[in-house]
């Protein structure tokens, strides 16, 4: 999946936004062999310029397409699906009215690499008469099911989920189905709740009052419909943990088959103290499991049998069980599995892997299964235990190596979760990963690695990653063509621009000054103080002894950088008499660096690094 | 404006269009001109060649905001005789801007008020005039003028001068390094030319008759052209251009210099001609040049310092003063006027010829390595 062009007429604060996503990097020049099909785009801009809005607008478009709706804003989106040898271009055009919304596709045809916004607009205007594009949904026929044109979409934010949940909110006609009344019928009085009561209060009361009838309905409504097949997935709640578990299980399976964990995955775990997955605990809600569809119920049945330990958790109204799966531990002896293959397996983690998906399936499909369990409320928590040291050889020695995943530091948990997303999509074609500031909470060393990690994990797949970022360090790792710069105008609408300076391989502090238009790479407070101090000294006709002493004091307190070097230079200047100034000028005009260096060293009364002290 | 800005050959087509616009505008202001008297036949008698007449007539049939330009022209022609007389004077005063840039101050001022008598309808009058005249740029130039680049009329849109070719020709002409891979340099700030857009030096929103004037068009970089830099700022003081440079009509011509003083912690824009002081101030305020160049100065300062530091750390031996002198000279010798920000980098090179700075760098580089 490759994004090509997005035209947003109005998605406040974005207005008249036209983004052409660079379709081919200069990577071709630097890359070895054929270019990587994976496209990485960055969205940068100051706070409030609307970076996240751009991501959400895209998500909105795809969520609506999946639901057969239209988002409440006009847009045009062009993207490509499939691999380079069998591409397909899709145009989703919504001028704002349902009767004009249309969806077009062209097989084996892609837009030229260097088409600009005008070029795309011309192509869109000519759609009706185009020979290349056929109307999948002609104007007037929207909505129709077109799930085959949907890429796999995952969205993650390190910020607030509220706005994102809003985008994912299911269509009202589905969510409210059970609560709707015919227009001529009055609202039944007995359904009215007292002030301050919510549906949850009522459910809780119901379940306490009627324990003999265990909650026969599933919480699976469309309220959180991420589990609907083909709907884009919002990585909120426990889903990042599910992703991490799916990736870790995949790693274990590869280890069983090939003898070692893939090196990229090993590197990911090495970043934290994670050495090895020791056990997995799933918290199961028995009531929900019993009400689940038959196939799902069978799986849960098998899971209960295959788990090394099943512990009941006390709860006033619900029947909760915690299922322990120990990595490498043998399965309990049992023959009553629905899935007979389970009996032939040797370890509990293998069983869990099989329950989540066939052997040849990917981490992504296991993750899908897990998130379906989560959405149905079958499980409501995933916990993992990891080993951080080798097991002591001496049995009597205390084994301090095992710790819960939840006990890792916030930053470590986040790095694992976020990086797991890349590995989750590794090998998937036509995926679109939307990341909103994934580098928050990370130290600079980790920030530096983001782009290379994406490339290692997903570089070979025909997928796209769109990242909103603030980090100058991250941006020094990408080409300016890959960056979409959102700038706010005075009337507080935002538009997209190309970046005005080269970014790849640039020093981050220089980048910060050019991209975020700061006047300096040091903090404002430091800059103001230094400038105020300089102004003060400059106002003195001849600097006094005290000024010089102050200046020296300030210098000694400054860290290295522009201001320290310049203040030091100035200090030297202030202390010089005319004779020395003239002398130095003569020296600096000499041609030979060697002679220059030696003479300067003498003047500064220092022994030069080369040559002797009498020179 | 550190480097020369020239009118390129294809400016001939712009000049011809500018004449067409003026002729057309004055024709609309003729006392006897009424809405009915704007027909294809009348246009044919107005224009010298059939190609020009055909182009203008098809241009007038174009639509913008649900109204054709012909409707706008008819609206203007239907104004009262008094209004049209005022408009005529205004058109004459705002098309030939060259008269405001005489070497010796003449005191002439461009009108700053609306050409129409202030009343409720003035806004509608103005909108019709502005939309019609701006369309010559927005639509006319974009789709191709009535002229070949050399100024001769043509009916062939593919050969006519258009926005793209004008912009490309201008950039190509002003580049010192014309290789296709070379970084392009903005004629205004001397930074890298990215997101190029054509600037109307005297904003076309205020003076729509200058929308296709060769003297008024300069392709510059997006950063220069957008707020908080030039944006829609005025380039005159209450109608007087006396304290302002102009890229074509009053170019500083090499008198601008960038200077650096240690105690300023940045670079300043100065002039070698004392009488230009006010113009330099205005130019700086228009583009925030000092601020932007200081930013570049600091960024390059840091880049250079860090590259020496990195080199030294890789070598592992302490940096000798001689080697530092040598590296700085190598860097300064490699500076090249074809590259963006050459002038700022040149100042940095000059700055680094200071013995005190050299010693400071040396001490700190050794410290840090």
Closest Cα in chain A to B361: A565
Bigger pLDDT: B361 vs A476: B361
How many CB atoms lie under 10 A from the CB of residue A476? Answer: 21
Interval A16-63: pLDDT, tens = 888 888 765 544 444 455 567 788 888 888 777 888 899 999 999 998
Best of B227, B309, B318, B321 to disrupt the A interface by mutation (most A CBs within 10 Å)?
B321
**Which residues in chain A touch residue B348, judged by CB atoms under 8 angstroms apart?**
none
Residues of B in contact with A564 (CB under 8 A): 364
For residue A576, which residues of chain B lie inside 8 Å, CB to CB?
Answer: 356
| pLDDT tens-place string over residues A137-157 | 888 888 777 778 888 889 998
Q: Cβ B303–A565 below 8 Å, yes or no?
A: no
- Alpha helices, DSSP H, located in chain B: 11-29, 40-46, 50-60, 69-77, 81-95, 122-135, 142-143, 163-174, 222-225, 277-287, 289-315, 321-334, 342-351, 355-368
Residues A242 and A348 in one domain: yes
pLDDT score recorded for residue A222: 39
pLDDT tens digits along A241-277: 999 999 999 888 888 888 888 887 887 787 777 878 8
Hey, how many other C-beta atoms are within 10 angstroms of the C-beta on B55?
25
Q: Render pLDDT for B135-144 as a digit per residue (tens, 0 to 9).
A: 999 888 988 9
Q: How far apart are CA A39 and CA A462, in angstroms?
A: 8
Given 3-state DSSP classes, what are the helix, strand and coil percentages for chain B, each rounded to the nearest 5? 55, 10, 40
State whether A601 and B326 contact (CB < 8 Å).
no
Boundaries of domain holding A538: 524-603
| Residues in B touching A609 (Cβ below 8 Å) | 318, 320-322
**Are A410 and A499 in the same domain?**
no
Residue with tokens 């998906």: A357
Whether the pLDDT of residue B336 is over 60: the answer is yes
Considering only A611-615, B48-52, B125-129, which range has the smallest mean pLDDT? A611-615
Q: Which of A472, A507, A608 to mutate to test the interface with B (most CBs of B within 10 A)?
A: A507
The token duo for A491 is 């009337």
Q: Do A569 and B262 touch (CB under 8 A)?
A: yes
**Shortest alpha-carbon distance between residue B21 and chain A (Å):** 27
Residue B74 bridge partners (DSSP)? none
Tell me if A495 sits within 8 A of A10, measured CB to CB.
Answer: no
Å from A439 to nearest chain B CA?
24
Q: Is pLDDT at A215 greater than 60 in this prediction?
A: no
- Cα dist. B364→A428, A501, A560, B63, B330 in Å? 50, 29, 7, 66, 20
Residue A510 and residue A531 share a domain: no
Structure tokens at B297: 């100065």
pLDDT in tens, B54-94: 999 999 998 888 889 999 999 999 999 999 999 999 999 99
Q: Looking at residue A483, what is its pLDDT?
A: 83
B327 Cα to chain A: minimum distance (Å): 9
Query: Which of A514, A565, A593 is closest, CB to CB, to B299?
Result: A514
Query: pLDDT-based confidence at A481, cuts 50/70/90?
Result: confident
- A-B interface: how many C-beta pairs under 8 angstroms? 120
Please tell me the distance from the alpha carbon of residue B230 to that of residue B245, in angstroms, as a whole number.
14
Which of A486, A537, A567, A568 is the best residue to mutate to test the B interface, defined by the most B CB atoms within 10 Å of its own CB?
Answer: A568
CA distance B38 to chain A (A): 32
* Span of A597-601, B78-82, B294-298, B307-311 with lowest mean pLDDT: A597-601
A348 lies in the same domain as A449: no
CB A576 within 8 A of CB B269: no
What is the rounded average pLDDT of the residues B224-236? Answer: 87
Closest CA to A411 of A442, A450, A432, A452: A442
- Assigned domain for A185 exists: no
Tell me the chain B residues in contact with residue A562 when contact means C-beta distances shorter than 8 Å. 265, 298, 301-302
- Nearby residues of B209 by Cβ (< 8 Å), 6 or more positions away: B21, B22, B25, B91, B94, B95, B133
Tokens of B150: 């050399």
Please state, for a pLDDT cut of 70, what percent of chain A lies above it: 81
Mean pLDDT estimate for chain B: 91
Q: How many domains does chain A have?
A: 3
- CATH number of the domain to which A127 belongs: 3.40.50
**Integer Cα distance of B222 and B198 in angstroms:** 9
Distance CA A115, CA A120 (A): 7
CB atoms within 10 A of CB A258: 9
Cα nearest neighbour of A561 on chain B = B302
CB contact under 8 A, B356 and A564: no
Which residue among B227, B367, B368 sits closest to A489, beta carbon to beta carbon? B227
pLDDT at position A193? 64
Kindly list the residues from chain A whose CB atom is less than 8 angstroms away from the CB atom of residue B324.
Answer: 597
Exposure string over B2-12, b if 16+ CB within 10 A, otherwise e: bbebebbebbb
pLDDT band at A187 (very low <50, low <70, confident <90, very high): low
Of the partner residues A490, A510, A568, the one whose CB lies closest to the CB of residue B360: A568
Q: A293 and A351: one domain?
A: yes
What is the mean pLDDT of the segment spanning A499-518? 68
Instruction: Tell me what percent of the residues of chain B surpass a pLDDT of 90.
Output: 62
**Closest partner residue to B356 among A490, A531, A569, by Cβ?**
A569
Q: Is the residue at A369 inside a domain?
A: yes
Cβ-Cβ contacts under 8 Å for B208 (sequence gap 6 or more): B129, B130, B132, B133, B134
Of B298, B325, B354, the CB nearest to A597: B325
Whether A300 is in a domain gets the answer yes
User: What pLDDT, on the 0 to 100 scale, is given for residue B136?
Assistant: 93
For residue A386, what are its two tokens? Answer: 């990891």
d(CA A190, CA A578): 98
Are residues A593 and A483 part of one domain? no
At A350-403, the pLDDT tens digits run 889 988 888 788 888 888 888 888 887 888 889 998 887 766 666 666 666 788
Q: What is the tens place of the pLDDT at every residue in A513-572?
A: 666 666 666 677 777 777 777 777 777 777 788 888 888 887 887 777 788 888 888 888
Q: What are the structure tokens assigned to B296, written together?
A: 């570049």
Q: Give start and end residues of each alpha helix (H) in A126-221.
A: 162-168, 172-175, 199-209
Q: Report CB contact under 8 Å: B194, A588.
A: no
Whose CA is closest to A34, among A479, A425, A474, A462?
Answer: A462
Cα separation, B199 vs B219, in Å, equals 6
Q: Which of A234-243, A439-448, A570-579 has the highest average model confidence (pLDDT)? A: A234-243
**Cα distances (Å, whole numbers) of residue B45 to A176, A205, B62:** 70, 90, 21
CB contact at 8 A, B140 and B215: no
- H-helix or E-strand containing A553? helix A545-557
Alpha-carbon distance A343 to A335, whole Å?
6
In a shared domain, residues A264 and A407:
yes
Count CB atoms within 10 A of the CB of residue B136.
23
Q: Which residues in A267-413 belong to E strands, given as ranges?
A: 276-285, 309-313, 320-326, 379-387, 402-404
What tokens were used for A13? 């604060």
Task: List chain A residues with CB under 8 Å of B291.
Answer: 519
What is the pLDDT, as a whole number, of residue A344? Answer: 85
- Integer Cα distance of A215 and A207 in angstroms: 7
The answer to whether B237 touches B244, Cβ cutoff 8 Å, is yes
Once rounded to an integer, what is the mean pLDDT over residues A484-503? 75
Q: From A472, A490, A515, give the residue that closes a domain.
A: A515
Best residue in B355, B358, B368 to probe A by mutation, most A CBs within 10 Å? B355
DSSP category for residue B137: I
Question: What whole-number distance in Å separates Cα of residue A174 and Cα of residue A164?
Answer: 19
Last residue of a domain, one of A515, A535, A566: A515
CB distance B194–A499 less than 8 Å? yes
Closest B-chain CA to A583: B355
Show residues of chain A in contact with B369, CB under 8 Å: none
Is pLDDT above 90 for B181?
Answer: no
Question: What separation in angstroms does the CA of A344 have from each of A167, A328, A354, B225?
Answer: 45, 14, 12, 72
Residue of B nearest to A601 (CA): B321
Element spanning A104, H or E: strand A102-107
- Does A203 fall in a domain? no
Strand partners, A465: A40, A433
pLDDT tens for residues B25-34?
Answer: 999 999 889 8
State which of A493, A515, A537 marks the end of a domain.
Answer: A515
A191 inside domain: no
**Do the Cβ atoms of A565 and B364 come within 8 Å?**
yes
Contact B192 A594 (CB under 8 A): no
The pLDDT of residue A607 is above 50: no
DSSP string, A503-540: -TT--HHHHHHHHS--S-SS-HHHHHHHHHHHHHHHHS
Angle among Cα B276, B221, B184 to the nearest 5 degrees reads 105
Q: How far apart are CA A403 and CA A109, in angstroms?
A: 53
Rounded to the nearest 10°, the torsion over CA B110, B112, B115, B119 is -170
DSSP sequence for B293-353: HHHHHHHHHHHHHHHHHHHHHHH-SPPPHHHHHHHHHHHHHH--TTSTTHHHHHHHHHHTT
Rounded to the nearest integer, the mean pLDDT of chain A is 79
pTM of the model: 0.61
Q: Is the pLDDT of residue B120 over 70?
A: yes
Q: Which chain B residues have a beta carbon less than 8 Å from that of A487?
A: 226
**Predicted pLDDT at A517:** 66
Quote the pLDDT of residue A57: 92
Query: In angstroms, what separates the C-alpha of B353 from chain A's closest C-alpha?
Result: 6
Chain A partners within 8 Å of B303 (Cβ): 507, 510
Average pLDDT over residues A331-335: 79
pLDDT for A223 beyond 50: no
Tell me, yes or no, whether A273 and A409 share the same domain.
yes
Contact B189, B292 (CB under 8 A): yes
Q: How many C-beta neighbours within 10 Å does residue A397 have?
A: 9
């Amino acid at each position: 999946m490759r994004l090509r062009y997005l035209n947003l007429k109005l998605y406040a604060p974005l207005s008249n936004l036209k983004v052409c996503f660079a379709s081919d990097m200069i990577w071709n020049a630097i890359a070895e062999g054929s270019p990587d099909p994976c496209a990485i785009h960055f969205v940068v801009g100051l706070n409030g310029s609307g970076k996240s809005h751009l991501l959400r607008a895209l998500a909105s478009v795809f969520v609506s397409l999946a639901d057969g709706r239209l988002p409440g804003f006009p847009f045009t989106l062009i993207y490509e699906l499939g691999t380079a040898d069998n591409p397909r271009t899709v145009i989703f055009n919504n001028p704002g009215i349902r009767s004009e919304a249309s969806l077009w596709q062209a097989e084996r045809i892609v837009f030229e690499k260097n088409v600009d916004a005008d070029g795309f607009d011309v192509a869109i205007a000519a759609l009706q008469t185009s020979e290349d594009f056929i109307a999948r949904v002609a104007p007037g026929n929207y909505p129709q099911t077109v799930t085959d044109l949907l890429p796999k979409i995952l969205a993650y934010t390190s910020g607030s989920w509220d706005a994102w949940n809003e985008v994912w909110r299911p269509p009202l006609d589905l969510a409210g189905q059970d609560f709707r009344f015919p227009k001529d019928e009055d609202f039944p009085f007995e359904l009215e709740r007292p002030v301050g009561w919510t549906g949850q209060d009522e459910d809780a009361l119901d379940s306490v009052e009627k324990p003999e009838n265990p909650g026969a309905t599933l919480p699976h409504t469309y309220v959180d419909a991420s589990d609907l097949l083909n709907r884009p997935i919002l990585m909120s709640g426990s889903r990042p943990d599910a992703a991490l578990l799916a990736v870790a299980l995949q790693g274990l399976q590869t280890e069983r088959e090939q003898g070692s964990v893939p090196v990229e995955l090993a590197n990911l775990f090495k970043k934290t103290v994670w050495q090895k997955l020791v056990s997995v605990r799933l918290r199961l809600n028995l009531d929900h499991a019993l009400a689940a569809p038959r196939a799902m119920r069978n799986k849960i049945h098998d899971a209960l049998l295959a788990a090394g330990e099943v512990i009941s958790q006390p709860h006033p109204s619900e029947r909760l069980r915690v299922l322990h799966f120990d990595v490498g531990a043998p399965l309990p002896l049992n023959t009553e599995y629905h899935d007979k293959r389970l009996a032939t397996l040797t370890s509990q983690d293998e069983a869990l892997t099989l329950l989540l998906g066939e052997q040849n399936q990917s981490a992504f499909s296991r993750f899908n299964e897990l998130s379906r369990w989560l959405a149905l409320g079958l499980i409501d928590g995933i916990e993992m235990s990891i080993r951080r040291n080798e097991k002591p050889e001496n049995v009597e020695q205390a084994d301090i190596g095992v710790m819960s995943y939840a006990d890792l530091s916030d930053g470590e948990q986040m790095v694992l979760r976020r990086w797991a997303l890349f590995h989750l999509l590794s090998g998937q074609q036509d995926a679109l990963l939307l990341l909103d500031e994934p580098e928050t909470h990370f130290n600079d060393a980790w920030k530096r690695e983001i782009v290379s990690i994406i490339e290692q994990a997903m570089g070979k797949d025909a997928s796209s990653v769109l990242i909103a970022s603030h980090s100058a360090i991250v941006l020094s790792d990408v080409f300016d063509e890959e960056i979409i710069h959102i700038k706010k105008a005075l009337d507080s609408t935002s538009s997209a621009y190309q970046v005005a300076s080269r970014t790849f391989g640039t020093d981050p502090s220089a980048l910060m000054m050019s991209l975020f238009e700061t006047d300096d790479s040091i903090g404002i407070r430091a800059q103001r103080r230094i400038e105020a101090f300089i102004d003060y000294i400059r106002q003195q006709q001849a600097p006094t002894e005290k000024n010089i002493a102050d200046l020296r004091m300030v210098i000694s307190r400054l860290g290295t950088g522009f201001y320290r070097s310049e203040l030091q230079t100035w200090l030297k200047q202030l202390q010089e008499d005319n004779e020395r100034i003239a002398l130095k000028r003569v020296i600096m005009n000499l041609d030979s660096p060697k002679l220059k260096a030696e003479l300067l060293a003498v003047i500064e009364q220092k022994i030069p690094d080369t040559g002797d002290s009498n020179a | 404006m550190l480097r020369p800005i020239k009118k390129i050959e294809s400016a001939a087509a712009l000049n011809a269009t500018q004449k067409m616009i003026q002729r057309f505008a004055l024709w609309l202001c003729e006392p006897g001109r009424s809405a009915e008297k704007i027909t294809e036949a009348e246009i044919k008698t107005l224009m010298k060649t059939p190609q020009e007449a055909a182009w203008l007539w098809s241009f007038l049939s174009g639509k913008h905001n649900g109204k054709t330009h012909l409707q706008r022209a008819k609206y203007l022609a239907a104004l009262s005789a008094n209004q049209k007389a005022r408009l005529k004077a205004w058109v004459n005063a705002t098309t030939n801007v060259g008269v405001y840039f005489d070497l010796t101050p003449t005191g002439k001022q461009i009108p700053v008020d609306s050409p129409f008598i202030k009343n409720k309808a003035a806004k509608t009058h103005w909108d019709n005039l502005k939309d019609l005249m701006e369309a010559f740029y927005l639509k006319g130039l974009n789709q191709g003028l009535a002229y070949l680049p050399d100024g001769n009329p043509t009916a062939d849109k593919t050969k006519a001068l258009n926005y793209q070719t004008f912009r490309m020709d201008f950039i190509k002409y002003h580049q010192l390094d014309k290789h296709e891979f070379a970084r392009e340099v903005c004629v205004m700030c001397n930074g890298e030319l990215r997101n190029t857009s054509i600037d109307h030096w005297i904003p076309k929103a205020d003076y729509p008759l200058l929308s296709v004037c060769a003297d008024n068009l300069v392709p510059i970089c997006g950063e220069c052209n957008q707020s908080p830099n030039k944006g829609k700022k005025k380039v005159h003081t209450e109608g007087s251009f006396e304290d302002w440079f102009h890229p074509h009509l009053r170019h500083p011509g090499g008198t601008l210099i960038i200077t650096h003083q240690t105690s300023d912690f940045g670079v300043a824009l100065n002039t070698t001609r004392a009488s230009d002081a006010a113009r330099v101030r205005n130019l700086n305020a228009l583009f925030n040049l000092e601020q932007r160049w200081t930013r570049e100065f600091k960024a390059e300062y840091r880049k250079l310092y860090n590259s020496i530091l990195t080199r030294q750390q890789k070598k592992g031996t302490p940096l000798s003063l001689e080697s530092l002198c040598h590296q700085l000279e190598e860097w300064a010798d490699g500076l090249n006027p074809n590259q963006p920000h050459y002038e700022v980098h040149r100042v940095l090179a000059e700055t680094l010829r200071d013995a005190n700075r050299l010693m400071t760098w040396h001490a700190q580089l050794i410290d840090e390595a």
